[in-house]
Structure 1
Amino acid sequence: MILGLPKKTLMIIGVVAAVVVIYALGQKGQADAQGSPTGCKVSVTADVLNARETAAGNGKVVGKYLRGAEFDAQPVVQNGFRKIADGKWVADSFVTPVSGAKC
């Protein structure tokens, strides 16, 4: 007996606790896109993606993302560029919404 409980009871409690933790972690992974403030989350498909300060190819580069990077975005597309934040746009053709995203 441990803590005044039979070993079998402690084992059952441990298994139930493990199942709850695994379930909670699985739900967190599924809710990532919905957890985005906008519900829109995208993944980079280019080797390197420039973020620009305007929705134009000649806008000043204000950041870079590598292939596979995931980040929150806005559901706004203008001139082929997706808004990801104020003063930050990326070419929409080089990002794809992650599973469950509402872009």
Structure 2
Amino acid sequence: MFLGIPKRALIIVAILAGVGLIYVMGNDQQASGGSGGGPGGCRVTVTADVLNVRAAPDAGAEIVGKFNQNAETDAQIEVQNGFRKIAENKWASAEYLKPVSGANC
């Protein structure tokens, strides 16, 4: 027991917190609608079945999130090493990101 709480209860709470965190991060990936896009007016659609979001513009960088096919998100105009910057420390392969109609990418 930890602080009078049974070990089993702590494990269940930790699992629920982890699932909640994954859910929140997934919702963050699917940004709300709007035609403006990111700071540069760039909005993209994911064309891959599942697209990894990485901490840096490198295929070996840590995976910090994922997008499902057809997800839309704001992005930035910046592209490095074939990766488009989605947000601070979030990069995805530009090959699988298609600008939405009217986006300034």
TM-score by length of 1: 0.67
Can you give the 5+ residue segments of structure 2 that lack an aligned partner in the other structure?
Answer: 1-32
Aligned residues of 1:52 and 1:59 also touching (Cα < 8 A): yes
Taking only aligned residues, the RMSD between alpha carbons, in angstroms, comes to: 1.4
For residue 58 of structure 2, give the secondary structure of its aligned residue in structure 1. coil
Larger Rg: 1
Q: What is the rounded CA distance, in whole Å, between the counterparts of 1:81 and 1:63 in structure 2?
A: 14
Cα 1:37–1:59, aligned 2, differ >3 Å: closer, same or farther?
Answer: same
Alignment partner, residue 75 of structure 2: 73
Once the two structures are superposed, what CA deviation does each residue of 1:12-63 show, in whole Å capped at 9, x if it has no partner?
Answer: xxxxxxxxxxxxxxxxxxx923254320000000000000000000000000
| Equivalence map 1:4-83=2 (5 Å) | 32-34=34-36, 36-83=38-85
TM-score by length of 2: 0.66
Aligned residues of 1:38 and 1:72 also touching (Cα < 8 A): no
Cα 1:52–1:35, aligned 2, differ >3 Å: closer, same or farther?
Answer: closer
Aligned partner of 2:60: which letter?
N
Count of residue pairs the alignment pairs up? 73
Can you give the 5+ residue segments of structure 1 that lack an aligned partner in the other structure?
Answer: 1-30
Q: What is the rounded CA distance, in whole Å, between the counterparts of 2:65 and 2:74 in structure 1?
A: 14
Q: Percent identity?
A: 52
Aligned partner of 1:34: which letter?
G
